[in-house]
Structure 1
Amino acid sequence: MSDPITPTPEPADADAGTYGPFAYLTAPNSVLYRRVMRVLMVEKERFTVHVRPEQVYAGVAVDGGDAVTEEAVGNALESLADGRWGNLLAFPDSSRVTAIEDFYRRRMLFQLSRAGEAAERALAQYDAALGTRGSLQSVALEDIVALLITLRHTVSEHATGATVDAALAHQTLRSLRERFVELADNAVAFMGSIQRTIDLHDADVEAFLAYKEQLVDYLERFINDLLVRGAAIAELLGSLDAASIDVLVTIAAEREAVDAAPGEAETAAASARQAWLRQWSGLTDWFVSTPARESEAKLLRARARSAIPALLAVVRALHEKAGGRTDRTHDFVTLARWFATLPADGDRHRLWRSAFGLTPVRHLSITAATEDAWASADLGNVTPWADAPPLEISPQLRRTGAYERRGKAVRVTDRSVAKALLVDRARQEAEQTAAARRRILTGGPKPLSAFGVLDPESFRLFLALLGDALAAMGPNPETAQVHTSDGELTVTLIRTPGSGVAVINTADGTLAGPDHLVDIASAVDEAAGDLVNWAAG
């Protein structure tokens, strides 16, 4: 009687530095191998030590994949347990031996090896990273505000000499770090997915158009939340000075150093302290702007804001494409393809004349004798100029450079009515513009929220002036002054922090944004007043 097969125990570092457990991904039956390994991972998570082939087959049969035989699953298990790959460990199954024949029959139990489990977890993480689309998390912003308020309360207790709950402070810092990392990572992934959506909109036009409405609403909601809660987070971060941050970091570092190995507590505390300081600095840089740079939250808000017109531009392009409009580039590419498929130069010349019609010299007049000679001659595309009938040019054309046919003069068209219509239209537009300018004059600094309701003409002019002033102001200055192109209006814009939100109602909708002081004055009136004052002086 021969001894039963006993697997070789797995060495401690059998697979260290090798990638054999990933080799099955390039094998012919890689799909089946992945399904088998997923079943074994599920059993591992259920704390099952050994798995029989029939258990694996039952799991593969219900995973939603293609149907396979029990024999194929058994062969896959044996291949994965092979020493070249080492994903599984195989043990003889002697628990069901009831006769000598059963003892000789090969029955095995399978278990994930350490290398196989590590490889499968890495693949699961890889699949999760590829499958995630990211999100803009307004709830994370709320959580960060609540956690910062808790930390500020902890610092206040420490300043008054009260006993601080170190465990609560440490857990709050950990929660703050996790929520912030999740917010930042998901925001980056989401903005990347938006760009791919914009770039690959031709994949499914109907799905893109249906998704666009929800996406724009989603972006607008997050932009508003980031504007409000981002300002609250920046204010909370600013309320914690260096001494307060030092208290929090010290509490967290000391608690983490408690579990360090003997003799390493001091080193572990110093290392943890530096790590917490770096992470707090990253949190501050994400929400707080400085004169040298913009905060990441502000840049994210600008990126999300710019994604909305980009999406709308894609929608407009899709509508134009659906309406049958094509650009000149497509026409020229199609024409070049036609030229390339023609067999001879004569065919290409005829296509050229048909497409562009540039062959005749239409400004050059010739005599009737020349036209008759050309009509009677059998000329081809390859006829040399020397063999073609000569071109008879009028002596008057040769002498003066101009040739006019004799006959009745062309009657001059009377365009007085059209000119009067244009003059009247220009006058009406000038009057509307002047009236709109008079309606938006402020007579001194005035908050945006005080403008109330504007008619369409006044609102269009006001919006253009406001855009020029905001562009001139930039991110850092507090005041900007611009002039209209004709020099008739001067616009002064003053930033007022903490002044709330201004709302301007129009017939076309509502404009809302941070309130500013604006002064719209007539430069002509100011110049006239200066002249009067100078003369009086």
Structure 2
Amino acid sequence: MTDSSIEAGQADVEAVAVPGSYGPFAYLSTPNAPLYRRIMRALMAEKERFTVHVRPEQVHAALDADGEEPVEERAVSEALERLAQPGWGNVLAFPDSSRVTALEDFYRRRMLFQMSRQGEAAERALAQYDAALGSRGALQSVALEDIAVLLTNLRGTVVAHAAGETVDTALAHQTLRSLRERFVELAENAVAFMGSMQRTIDLHDADVEAFLAYKEELIAYLERFIHDLLTRGASIAELLVSIPDEGVWFLASTAAEREAIDAAPGEAETARVRVRDNWLRQWSGLTDWFVSTPDRESESKLLRARARAAIPALLAVVRALHEKAGGRTDRTKDFLTLARWFAALPTDADRHRLWRSAFALTPVRHLSVTAATEDAWSSAELGNTTPWADAPSLQVSPQLRRSGSYERRGKSVRVTDRTEAKRMLIEQARQETEQTAAARRRILTEGPQPLSAFGELEPMAFRLFLGLLGDALAAMGPQADTAQVHTSDGELTVTLTRIPGAGTMVITTPDGELSGPDHLVDIASAVDVPEPDGALGEAPEVYA
């Protein structure tokens, strides 16, 4: 750190230290901003270790240990003093008289520095800003489990209070705070992850090779979270509904009473009301996130639908990347490759030959050259710049000169009329589209219902239903009680649940009967299946 840079920093202080501005952020626009940023991080680290005052040599030692560019101790002292100036106010400076042993030491400048409140607030805001930019977010299944456990504990507290029992208000308050922290973390991370997922789908900031390498893990990750959100989200919604309004009011009042204890004198009642209303609003937000109403869908259900829709979108991206990798290159790449070939050739003669080969700008090719002419050209060893008048003459066949063509003309072949074949293919595609749509509509359920409720199925619907049932049973296995699978195109979701002590169900088809243990099945569609209207549409693919 040179004297000139220090003087530049002093000039910056005088330029940006405007009354009424956000002084603690002013150092970010100075040439020495990286040094000031490192010093503020070092001061924050000392504060987190409960160090009240620090000396310049302590800050200098911390900067030497951070692995970045070395800084002189004098430059650190100068920077600390500038951060303590009234225009910025990031740190507070105090005379250091603890090590004074002689009278002349009083006239020597020794300072202790402490991070100010506004400087700490600015540093925490910058740290949060850096963390938000570097965070990609995550879908936290563990947070769902923690929220369910915390809600169970709070419900037990509410039940005990309603029964007249003495409850631990400190434990209830701490549980409520933990619930808020886990929910905020879950919601913010989910928003960040889905935003990064959309950018990955759009291929705005995705590396193609990395995307293709981890697509399988990404899809499995989404499917696992969708399953956890479906199962644990339902239990969380039940817990929230089971806590009455009186219990919610008790929890909010308990938290407000404990937090109002630390309020300043004369502000306890105001703080109590404000904190209680804040807790009630946060509880309402938590309820809206998990519980759906007839007027609106819950945020968890919308998140589940968005995550489910991301799976076919990811598969479409993979398909597009494979098609791009396996397809022909465009004309721009052809010309760039040809330009590299021209640049790599050693002589102009080689470039002329490449030109003729690439663009076929040779003498009229429909005039066939006789063997005698080709022999004459070979023996003459003509160069690329030989005029046509000096080259051997071109011998034209008498037949070509007489008739203008080498071909023997005859009756032209009649064009085959394929109108009937095209009409038949269009009709077949329309019928297949209608049959597939009808089969899907037939097996869709409005919520869980037993397999025995399907009754009789036509062959097309039965084949689709049997494939989905087989995938769900395979995913469930012999130990699990429920399973959820999706079709490869992401349009159908099947949730299968084992019924303890269930009887035997029978599904009838024109080809026979299917019997087995009864289960609860929920077949839902992620997209609307159109009703048949006779219009031709593209036949969708059916995946089991």
Q: Does 1:191 align with 2:194?
A: yes
**Deviation readout 1:446-479 (Å, 9 max, x if unpaired):** 945999xx9x98777559999xxxxxxxxxxxxx
Q: Tell me which of 23, 26, 32 is aligned to 2:26.
A: 23
TM-score scaled by length of structure 1:
0.59
Match of 2:133 in 1: 130
Measure the CA separation in 2 of the matches of 1:183 and 1:265.
32
Root mean square deviation, CA, Å? 5.2
Measure the CA separation in 1 of the matches of 2:84 and 2:214.
47
Measure the CA separation in 1 of the matches of 2:285 and 2:506.
36
Pick which of 219-228 and 171-180 moved more: 171-180
Q: Does 1:214 align with 2:195?
A: no
**Deviation readout 1:214-246 (Å, 9 max, x if unpaired):** 322221111100000011111122222334434
Q: Does 1:68 align with 2:45?
A: no
Match of 1:174 in 2: 177
Q: Secondary structure at the match of 1:514?
A: strand
- Does the 8 A contact of 1:198 with 1:310 survive in 2? yes
Q: Tell me which of 284, 289, 293 is aligned to 1:286.
A: 289
Residue 60 of structure 2 aligns to which amino acid in structure 1? Answer: Y
- Does the 8 A contact of 1:441 with 1:520 survive in 2? no
Match of 1:39 in 2: 42
Measure the CA separation in 2 of the matches of 1:263 and 1:83.
32
Shift of 1:186: 1.7
Q: Secondary structure at the match of 2:92?
A: strand
- Does the 8 A contact of 2:172 with 2:251 survive in 1? yes
Q: Secondary structure at the match of 2:52?
A: coil
- The alpha-carbon distance between structure 1 residues 441 and 299, as it changes in their structure 2 partners (threshold 3 A), is closer
Pick which of 168-177 and 250-259 moved more: 250-259
- The alpha-carbon distance between structure 1 residues 264 and 208, as it changes in their structure 2 partners (threshold 3 A), is same
Measure the CA separation in 1 of the matches of 2:164 and 2:92.
59
Match of 1:410 in 2: 412
Measure the CA separation in 2 of the matches of 1:78 and 1:17.
21
Match of 1:110 in 2: 113
Measure the CA separation in 2 of the matches of 1:195 and 1:503.
24
Q: Secondary structure at the match of 1:136?
A: coil
Shift of 1:291: 1.2
Measure the CA separation in 2 of the matches of 1:162 and 1:78.
59
Aligned identity (percent) is: 69
- Does the 8 A contact of 1:39 with 1:60 survive in 2? yes
- The alpha-carbon distance between structure 1 residues 157 and 52, as it changes in their structure 2 partners (threshold 3 A), is closer
- The alpha-carbon distance between structure 1 residues 282 and 204, as it changes in their structure 2 partners (threshold 3 A), is same
Match of 1:308 in 2: 311
Measure the CA separation in 2 of the matches of 1:187 and 1:504.
22
Measure the CA separation in 1 of the matches of 2:103 and 2:263.
55
Measure the CA separation in 2 of the matches of 1:205 and 1:411.
50
Shift of 1:507: 13
- Does the 8 A contact of 1:448 with 1:504 survive in 2? no
Q: Does 1:295 align with 2:298?
A: yes
Q: Does 1:81 align with 2:62?
A: no
Match of 2:152 in 1: 149
Measure the CA separation in 2 of the matches of 1:58 and 1:147.
44
Match of 1:3 in 2: none
- The alpha-carbon distance between structure 1 residues 518 and 143, as it changes in their structure 2 partners (threshold 3 A), is farther
- The alpha-carbon distance between structure 1 residues 276 and 104, as it changes in their structure 2 partners (threshold 3 A), is closer
- The alpha-carbon distance between structure 1 residues 253 and 320, as it changes in their structure 2 partners (threshold 3 A), is same
Q: Does 1:225 align with 2:244?
A: no
**Deviation readout 1:55-107 (Å, 9 max, x if unpaired):** 22221112122233334333323332344333333444455556787665544
Shift of 1:34: 0.8
- Does the 8 A contact of 1:249 with 1:276 survive in 2? yes
Aligned ranges 1:53-452 → 2 under 5 Å: 53-96=56-99, 106-201=109-204, 203-260=206-263, 265-325=268-328, 409-412=411-414, 447=450
- Does the 8 A contact of 2:83 with 2:90 survive in 1? yes
- The alpha-carbon distance between structure 1 residues 126 and 507, as it changes in their structure 2 partners (threshold 3 A), is closer
- Does the 8 A contact of 2:227 with 2:484 survive in 1? no
- Does the 8 A contact of 1:93 with 1:108 survive in 2? yes
Match of 2:531 in 1: none
- The alpha-carbon distance between structure 1 residues 449 and 515, as it changes in their structure 2 partners (threshold 3 A), is farther
Q: Secondary structure at the match of 2:137?
A: coil
Shift of 1:411: 4.3
- The alpha-carbon distance between structure 1 residues 411 and 124, as it changes in their structure 2 partners (threshold 3 A), is closer
Shift of 1:256: 4.0
- Does the 8 A contact of 1:446 with 1:519 survive in 2? no
Segments of 5+ residues of structure 2 without an aligned counterpart are 1-16, 337-358, 360-408, 470-480, 498-504, 511-544
Segments of 5+ residues of structure 1 without an aligned counterpart are 1-13, 335-354, 356-406, 467-499, 523-537
Measure the CA separation in 2 of the matches of 1:27 and 1:276.
42
Measure the CA separation in 2 of the matches of 1:117 and 1:457.
68
TM-score scaled by length of structure 2:
0.59
**Deviation readout 1:376-416 (Å, 9 max, x if unpaired):** xxxxxxxxxxxxxxxxxxxxxxxxxxxxxxx8543447899
Shift of 1:150: 1.8
**Deviation readout 1:457-512 (Å, 9 max, x if unpaired):** 8777559999xxxxxxxxxxxxxxxxxxxxxxxxxxxxxxxxx8577999999x86
Shift of 1:513: 1.8
Measure the CA separation in 1 of the matches of 2:161 and 2:205.
59
Measure the CA separation in 1 of the matches of 2:259 and 2:463.
60
Q: Secondary structure at the match of 2:51?
A: coil
- Does the 8 A contact of 2:151 with 2:239 survive in 1? yes
Measure the CA separation in 1 of the matches of 2:178 and 2:79.
43
Shift of 1:280: 2.0
Shift of 1:287: 0.8
- Does the 8 A contact of 1:448 with 1:502 survive in 2? no
